[in-house]
Structure 1
Amino acid sequence: MLVLNAGRQVTLSAFADALWGTELPQNPRRAVQLCAVRVRAQLDRIGAGDIVLTCPDGYRLDVPPEATDIGGLANHLRDADAAAAGDDAERELAAVTAALGLWRGEPLADVPSEELQREVAPGLREKRLQLIERRIAILLRGGRAAELVDELVALTARHPLREGLCGQLMQALHHCGRRAEALDVYHRFRRRLSDEFGVDPSESMRELHTAILAGRQDERGSAEPLRLPVPRQLPSSVPAFSGRRRELAELDDLLAVVHGSSEPVVGVITGTAGVGKTTLAVHWARRVADDFVDGQLFADLRGYHPGQAVSPDRVQARFLRTLGVRVEDIPTEADELTALYRSTIDGRRLLMVLDNANGADQVRPLLPGGPGCLTLVTSRDALLSLIATDGAYRVDLDLFDMVEARELLARRLGTGRLAVDPQAADDIIAASARLPLALAIAAARAVIDRGAPLSALAEELREGLDAFDTASELTDVRAVFSWSYRALSLDAARMLRLLGLHPGPHLTVSAAASLGGLPVAAAGELLDELAQANLVIEPVPGRFALHDLMREYAVELVSADESGDDRDRAVRRLLDHYLHNGYAAVAVIDPMLTGDVPEEAVPDVHLEELADHDAAMAWIAAEQDVLLSILDWAADAGFDRQVWQLVWVLVPYFGRQGNTAHLLRCMDAALKAGERLGEPLMQARAHRGLGNVYFRAARNDDADRHFATALALYRGGGDLVGEAHVEMGLSAFREQQGRHPEALEHALRALELHRRLGDPGSHANALNSVACCYIQVGQHEPALDYARRALAAFRELKALDAESAALDTIGDAHQRLGQFSEAIDRYREAIRVAQQAGNRFYSARSLVNLGDAHHAVGDRTAARDAWRRAETILDELRHPAAGQVRDKLARAGV
């Protein structure tokens, strides 16, 4: 496998298939790795173990291609083709003979692999027969027919259905004056073909028979060669082609595969409607057309056209006429037509572009069977079965990136016009969603109206799909989308419509199941269908998205084709999906969380399995952008209760990340929801949250204002719990301001309130707050007592964040008492627990304190390392405390 693919990675799964087929060992990956170890050990004996390189998912043989038989074969073939182009028969013969010398018996004869014997060995045998036929053809043209007859008799006996060899034997016999024997070879071949397959010889074979009957020979004694037409059917390449450098490089790699392969090669360019698949295919095909000396064929299969798709038999008949087969000789029966089609293209070096296919079944009957051919297919469908069963290579075409999009506009409009208003150019790109078709339409409008500023065009394009109406079904963006939409199953079409209700930017299969009120497995199948049709993208595995124009199209569809009741039910399922899964995640992350628990979810909402802290953190981390979008969307749609509840899903997560901007965004949404609902206690809690965020951001005036408002609202509503929480916030705030006696007073009031209220988590928080305040007023022994009591309670509650905070407080008390060894141990434990909880701010805070302790005992290196780790985290969090850490590093000279 490594030698057959020299210079290219072979995946672990490909090795496993070749080694064991369907009889896979229990752990195929490990088994393959053990085989690789043994191979390297054998190669090490000759000092070559390093030529087997480990790749991300397999291995690669690091040798030049010409060091292998297949690579050497490709070199000889290139020499032969160059010699033939220069009409140097002697050099061509030498190259072909050298290529044949690479066969030293049956290929892969001692390789016990069913897959290689089935998939590779036949191609190598076919390549040898082709070379034999080429060598004989050169000798026939050189007038050496007599010395070939015996060899050809033996070859046709071994390969009685090989049309090329039978034709060459007919030519050799005819040249030697043995016309009757030549004609007898033809008749025996025709009878065998008819008896076994019910078909006639190809037209070229029949013309050779006619030439021998007429006694025609060229000056070298061969029957007159048939001059086959060389088709040149590729459409024109679009002017000002731009971008696609990566994809063009992938296609160039595909051409290299053609040159080195003993099999025909198929490439599939797949992507969403309007992304430029045909443009890329035609542009690249024209670049490499000269590599295919027997011509280029092109067919628009109209797989997603408003009219009927073109059937494979119609394309076969058209290609046969192009290749010189008379209309009256083209069969009407499907099997005969396919047999004639394969016979006609066999042995030719063709480039075939099959554009706009709707599935593998439309393409497969058109694929050449011989080597040297390349078929390039474009489709909105992923054509997975063509990739899986026919070994097709896939080139995925995505939306333009910004550089490519600007390049397209520059080529169409000129760099000078873009330079006048570069922001307008970017606005046009944004409105076009970086979709090449939409950008081309926008550029065309700008070309037509050269006098208008680009900013005016950008403003018009913001109207959405209507701005890309070209009055042509072939280029109108909405119409092009509709062709793909109409090809979907009914259930997949409904799923696409419902995705128009999701605010984005992406969703999981589980969320799609809730949105559609479907089982998860069924939703997954529908998303796969949409992905295969390139109507949704999968930016990361398991998460699906729509590009902006496709989202707008889905919004139009859901508004037009789904009833108001169905839309309302889907929206409620979607909200409940994120709300209930979010609360489940937060309950795992922070068992001490108190909030407005949502009511029971509506039917058909799917809950995730969040077994532990890591799974819960991973869920919120993956969904944070979606949850923020849902938050804004729910606020605009008037779901104020759900907005309020979603805030308390997001706040614990963003608090751990120290993300002040997102915390303020959430708290502001909570406050507005509370005001719209007319709920004073909701407003109080939002003000309290804003106070806490602002004091941590060192915005003291804002913090004072919000804490005061919260305290007044709680006292006015008789809410002692809320009042106690504000006292806790004020304690931390005054401590940060250096007003330590006031901080202690607030902490003690909070402790007394929480003791009376009887909530163990809140009481433990108050204990730790009192401990912190005692440290600041110099009473370190009482501080240790309070902090240890808080730690025990937090561990009982399994509250990791709070446990880290208590450990940090204990470390601080030990440090103030001069007990530096104990302080360092507690800080390290606090950091470990904070990391386990995913609380980066707490990690940074304890790292700062750890650095202080190390510095106090003279360990400058350890202090520097701790402070720098803290500085990195705080910089990433954009926290103002990062400047204080840099000051420590500067003052300490470390």
Structure 2
Amino acid sequence: MPDPDGRESSANTATGPPGGVAFGVLGPLRIAAGGTELELTSPRSRIFTALLVLNPGRQVTLSAFADALWGEELPQNPRRAVQLCAVRVRAQLDRIGAGDLVVTCPDGYRLDVPPEATDIGALADLLREADAAAAGGDAERELAAVAAALELWRGEPLADVPSEALQREAAPGLRERHLQLLERRIEILLHGGGTAELVDELVDLTARHPLREGLSGQLMQALHHCGRRGEALEVYHRFRRRLSDEFGVEPSESIRELHAAILAGRQDDDHGGEPLRLPVPRQLPASAAAFSGRKRELAELDELLTVMHGSSGPVVGVVTGTAGVGKTTLAVHWARRVADEFVDGQLFADLRGYHPGQALPPDRVQARFLRTLGVRAEDLPTEPDELTALFRSTIDGRRLLIVLDNANSADQVRPLLPSGPGCLTVVTSRDALLSLIATDGASRVDLDLFDMAEARELLARRLGAERLAVEPQAADDLIAASARLPLALAIAAARAVIDRSASLSALAGQLREGLDAFGTDSDLTDVRAVFSWSYRALSPGAARMLRLLGLHPGPHLSASAAASLGGLPVPEAGTLLCELTQANLVTEPVPGRFALHDLMREYAVELVSADESEDDRDRAVRRLLDHYLHNGYAAVTVIDPMLTGEAPQDVLPGVCLEEIADHDAAMNWIASEQDALLSIMDWASDAGFDRQAWQLVWVLVPFFGLQSNTAQLLRCMDAALKAGERLGEPLMQARAHRGLGNAYFRAARNEEADRHFALALALYRDTGDLVGEAHVAMGLSAFREQQGRHPEALEHALRALELHERLGDPGSHANALNSVACCYIQVGQHELALDHARRALAAFRTMKAPNAESAALDTIGDAHQGLRQFPEAIDSYQEAVRQARLAGNHFYIARSLDNLGDAYHAAGDRTAARDAWHQAGTILDELQHPAAARVRDKLAQAGE
């Protein structure tokens, strides 16, 4: 019989039109068939259809429709009004051939589709699949099902369905289900170890849901896993404060246990089912491929582990023995064997105690370790005592293995020792370090020459037992000729591996003849003959390369640096380095970088002095200097042309000029070469190449400045000052004092900053250098602004502007204009600020300098903000962000986004403000910048 709407009731379940119809409410209402989207323009039609979609295949009563459609304000005849809605919806569904899917029931209507035709039904199916996968321990399949379920969401559920009842009763449950799925996906990824990529997402989620404990706990885990323990603890304290302030309650026991685990720096997989996996540094070099013997010494090192387990303090072992006896090989092999005992990681440093250049000072090692453990460069103190205190505080409570290789004294080691239990430190040294043993309770492991059994075992591993069995006496002769010194024996074995056609007897005879030729008594006595024997077997090109490597003062070098040293093409240099590496005369501690053992370096120095003419040595050294100067200058020019120093002279023939295509390549080049650059800078100063040392400073300063590495900035500026003093160049001295002033004020050491700025200003004025005076004025302006002395800052900025106007340098003049504009804003002169910033922007645009344009646009935005001209401020900040993106300056992007959020908020657009602040906070978190906390506070105050 006909139903009240004039339709025949259907007794069978409809399957829909050919191709099927899809319905969705996980976002705006969606109706689609065969690629056609049907839009219901009537609000009541959307409410009626949404209620059907929420209950696929089930009857929805007339009273439920009435409540959803009208709430308490019912029409005069609710039943008839609902029927009219059904008629309208069917008519609109008929446009895609789906009107029959709305079926009349005795007391309402039913959407006659299988559940999977709706996103609600598909969601239920995927959740069942995820649960089944979890029960079977199949994390990959569970993750795939959860990810597919999350993809069903197209936005806020029921976003365009204006029903108070549905928004009150249905939408919150759907939002909660979405959050539960997000937490489930993140939990699976945390269990799988994928954390770094989750941090940004979790920062955003916790900002939007600050009271959701599960997300805060997951963010704590992800940060802790990434080595950002301090930030993880900050997340907990922020969550706890908000919970206490708003509800007067404490966090659950689960998250409190997680907080305690992170505070102690330990790994804990049992805190409410949430995994805690702290990412750990793994700095140990590769173990020797043919390690042999040393059973007694390994047992003594094992004893240190036993002591550590029962100790209330740190444990230290000192491996001592002569040069070339295998101290590093033993320490690294043992450390790798027990690495799993140290859940918070392993740290390694070559202290270069017997390197002919400068030994590595403890503060540089501390800074390196701290950066590895997640401390930002700008948070590193410059005072040694403060740095030591921070280092010990950071590693306190962690279970770390620290290997300090090649130490020359107890004083070099002591600041690097932990102060609490759970850590074990192994030190290698040619000296016994008796004061470390007496004062710090270190255990001593003496390493002697191989005994015959150990030496035979090494040869058997390298040459094969069969080859030794054929000529057992010759093998013993090789051992005797190598004096049972592991380094010498390894080189002899390498020679035997390379020359497989030669008998061991012949090789032993050659080596014995070489040994008889030496009668001196030094560290090299035991190995010089082996070095000489292996050296004579090299190709002429490889032999020359080995000699020239003795001229390189750094700890390691790249193939391209070796090419410049030898005046060779890079492929040829790479081939020669490969030959030297196969002969065990050169090591490759990390791929692409090559180094010499200290004894081999001494031997190479002897060779280059004896076999290369003074002119050839001089040319090689100058090519090496040119390599670092020209490539470094090219890298700095890409990073920021306005930060470069004095350009080097024309490059010498034979120098390898590397391709440095973009900002990332430039930063990577200097990062990989920084140790070599610092060594070259120190060596150039000592060798009388003061001008080159000065130029190298300005290669390093921009890099360390971007890293906010104040300690290295001060070291470089001090080297620049000494070079200027030795050269008797007042302007060099003035620039170095100016650089020291800038570095000290960034380190908040105001007295030193004032002193160096004053010295720089006096030198510039004595020499009549207005350019230098103007730069000092700019530095003083920034310094006074940081101190809150805004009128003085403006005075210095105006002086800089006056000087730059007279000098006519467009870039410096534009910088001064922007600096003056910033100062005018601080003293409330916003119209004047706007005028100066616009002039700066015009100049920067002429120079096509997007980084500087971004800075000027940001200043213009600040001025508009001060004038309460919010639309203009918003436009300026948006353009500042765009220019900063072009320049790749992430901090400038975040700064302008932060300011953009302020402008939106002041203009009353809180949604846009929160979005801008979210973006700014995400970038600042990536940069580990302290401003991130201020942005998070804004989000919290905005109700996120």
TM bucket (normalised to shorter chain) is 0.3 to 0.5
How does the TM-score come out when normalised to structure 2?
A: 0.46
How does the TM-score come out when normalised to structure 1?
A: 0.48
Structure of larger gyration radius: 1
